Amino acid sequence: MKQLSTIRQQIMAIGTILTDMVMPNIGAFIAWGLLSAMFSSSGWFPNSQLNQIATLMGQYILPILLAATGGRIKGGQRGSLVASIATIGLICGMKDSALLGAMIIGPTVGWMMRTTDTSLRKHVNQGFELLVNNFSAAIIGMFTSLVAYFLLAPAIAWISQALATATNWLFAKHLLAFTNVIIEPAKVFFLNNAINHGILNPLGTNQAMVSGHSILFLLETNPGPGIGLLLAFVLLGQHRARKFAGNALIIHALGGIHEVYFPYVLKHPQLLLSVICGGVTGTFTFSMMHVGLRADPSPGSIITILLLTPSGWHNYLGVIAGILTSTLVSFTITAVWLIVIAPKSNHRNANDVKLATTSNHVIVTGEAGMGSPSMGARILHDKLRRVGHNEFAITSEPINRLQNTANATIFVRHEWLQLVQVAAPDAHAIISINNYLNTPEYDQFVNEQNDIAKALGALE
C-alpha cells in the first residue's frame, strides 16, 4: 500500500507540474480554438488569410508559452527565457505540433538553468555577475536548442506518431470508448489534469491542426458522467448528499469543475461503475457520430464545449448526443444503486483530526487548477462571518505553492494528507476532509470556535 501511495503521489506531482504549465495559458488555447472555429476552411466565416493567425499560434505561440511557463516554474525568469530559446530548436525540428515536447523541455531546461546559476554564483567575482548571467543563459539556450533539434524532436515525433497510430487503430476498431475504463477512475483520484493536459491535449491539438477537430478533447472533459451521477443524487439522494448535489450539479455542468462530483464516488466506490459506463457510452457516441472539438475545453463545461464545437448541425447534434447518452447511463446506474443497494448509514471516521485550534489563518488547499478549494474557502468564510468570527483569514492555495504556513490550519482531502505534511511541516494543524463543498467539518470548526469564544468570555 505504501508503494502504491508513493507512486500515486509521484503521478500527482507530475500532474501538478503539467497543470501549472497549462492552466495559466488556457486562454491562449481557447483563443486558438475560437480563431480556428471562425476562420478555418470549415469554420463559421472561412478566411484563409485570417486563419494564418490560428496556424501560427498553434505552431509557435502555444509551445513557447507552455515551455516558458514550465521554465519559470523550475528556474524563474531566466529559466523561462532559456526554455523559450530551446523550444525554437524543437519547433524547427518537428513537422507536427511541438506541444508535447514543449511540456518536457520547459521544466527540464528551467531546472538546468537554476542548477547552473546556483553552481556559478559562488565562483563569480563581484562586477561580473551580469556578464556571466547573460552568457550562461545564451550558451545553455543555444546548446539546448540544438539538443532539442537533433535529439528531442525526432524522439517526440516518434512517440507522437506511435500514440496517434494507436489512437487511430482504436478509433477504426471502435474501441476508443474503452479508454474511459481507465480515464474515469483516474479522474476520480484527481489525476484528471495529468491525463488531459499531459496526454490528450497535445495529441488532440496535433489532430485538430490536420483535420480541424479531435475527439480526444472530449474523452476526459465530457461532463455527462458527472451530470448523471449528481442528478441522481438531486432526485433520489438522502440528507446532506441530496442537499448539496444541486449546487454541485450547476457548478459541474456550467462551471466545468468536475472535481465537485469526485467525493461522491470516493465515498461510494461502487459508483465507479456509473461514471465508467457513462464515459464509455459518451465516447462511443462521439465516435459513431464522428465529432470532436477544435481545442481543449478547459474548464470542461457545457458552455465551453459548445463554443469549441465545429460549425454544422451534425457536429452540434453529435456532441450533445454524446453528453446526453453518457448522462442517461450514469444517471440510471446511480439511481438503481441509490434505490436498491445504497447503504443507509453515513458514519464518520472516528479517527478524524480534532478541529480545535487557536490559529486565525485557515488555508483550504488542493491541486493547482482546481476550483473546489477556492469554493470551500468561500463557504467556510461565509459560515464564520455569519456567527461573528471576523478574526479569521480564509484563503485557498495550490498544494505545490504553500508558503507562510506557520500557525495555519490547512484543510485538505485525506488522500493528500501526506503531501501537505511535506509541503507545510510548520502548520499548526492539518484537517482531513473528503468534500470541499459538503462536509460537517466546517460546522464543527465554527462550533468549536464559538465554544472557545464563550470560554474566553467567561474567564474575563
Which CATH number fits the domain that encloses residue 434? Answer: 3.40.50.2300
Residue 31 lies in a domain: no
Rounded CA-CA distance 435/384 in Å is: 18
pLDDT at 284 over 50: yes
Q: Strands 393-398 and 408-413: what pairing?
A: unpaired
Rounded to an integer, the average pLDDT of 77-90 is: 96
Residue 75 lies in a domain: yes
Boundary residue ending a domain (121, 142, 173): 173
pLDDT at 135 over 60: yes
Residue 409 lies in a domain: yes
Encode 227-263: b = buried (16+ Cβ within 10 Å), e = exposed: bbbbbbbbebbeeebeebbebbbebbbebbbbbbbbb
Higher pLDDT, 127 or 424: 127
- What does the pLDDT read at residue 134? 93
- What does the pLDDT read at residue 313? 92
Residue 64's domain spans which residues?
A: 47-173
The overall longest dimension of the chain from CA atoms, in Å, is: 78
pLDDT band at 354 (very low <50, low <70, confident <90, very high): very low
Higher pLDDT, 9 or 135: 135
Residue 440 lies in a domain: yes
Rounded to an integer, the average pLDDT of 53-70 is: 92
Integer CA distances (angstroms), 94 to 90, 103, 159, 225, 250, in order: 6, 15, 12, 37, 42
Judge if 448 and 317 occupy the same domain: no
Residue 27 lies in a domain: no
Boundary residue ending a domain (173, 198, 229): 173
Candidate from 124-138, 243-257, 345-359 with smallest mean pLDDT: 345-359
- What does the pLDDT read at residue 346? 46
Judge if 169 and 179 occupy the same domain: no
Candidate from 110-114, 260-264, 280-284, 419-423 with smallest mean pLDDT: 419-423
DSSP 8-class letter at 400: G
Judge if 322 and 210 occupy the same domain: yes
Judge if 152 and 193 occupy the same domain: no
Judge if 147 and 184 occupy the same domain: no
Q: Which residues contact 146 (CB under 8 A, 6 or more apart)?
A: 89
- What does the pLDDT read at residue 422? 45
Please tell me the total count of domains within the chain: 3
- How many whole angstroms from its chain centre is CA 286? 22
pLDDT band at 345 (very low <50, low <70, confident <90, very high): very low
Residue 5 lies in a domain: no
Rounded CA-CA distance 267/346 in Å is: 10
Q: Which residue has the cell 466545468?
A: 256
- What does the pLDDT read at residue 162? 84
Judge if 327 and 198 occupy the same domain: yes
Share of the chain above pLDDT 90, in %: 35
pLDDT tens digits, one per residue of 358-411: 567 788 877 655 557 777 888 888 888 888 887 788 888 776 566 555 556 666
- What does the pLDDT read at residue 388? 82
- How many whole angstroms from its chain centre is CA 372? 11
Rounded to an integer, the average pLDDT of 5-26 is: 71
Boundary residue ending a domain (173, 204, 221): 173
Mean pLDDT for all residues in the chain? 81
- What does the pLDDT read at residue 348? 41
Judge if 179 and 169 occupy the same domain: no
Judge if 271 and 338 occupy the same domain: yes
Judge if 298 and 384 occupy the same domain: no
Rounded to an integer, the average pLDDT of 170-176 is: 84
- What does the pLDDT read at residue 65? 95
Judge if 222 and 152 occupy the same domain: no
Judge if 182 and 256 occupy the same domain: yes
Judge if 110 and 138 occupy the same domain: yes
- What does the pLDDT read at residue 44? 79
Which grid cell is 255? 462551471
Residue 7 lies in a domain: no
- What does the pLDDT read at residue 6? 64
Residue 25 lies in a domain: no
pLDDT band at 351 (very low <50, low <70, confident <90, very high): very low
- What does the pLDDT read at residue 166? 84
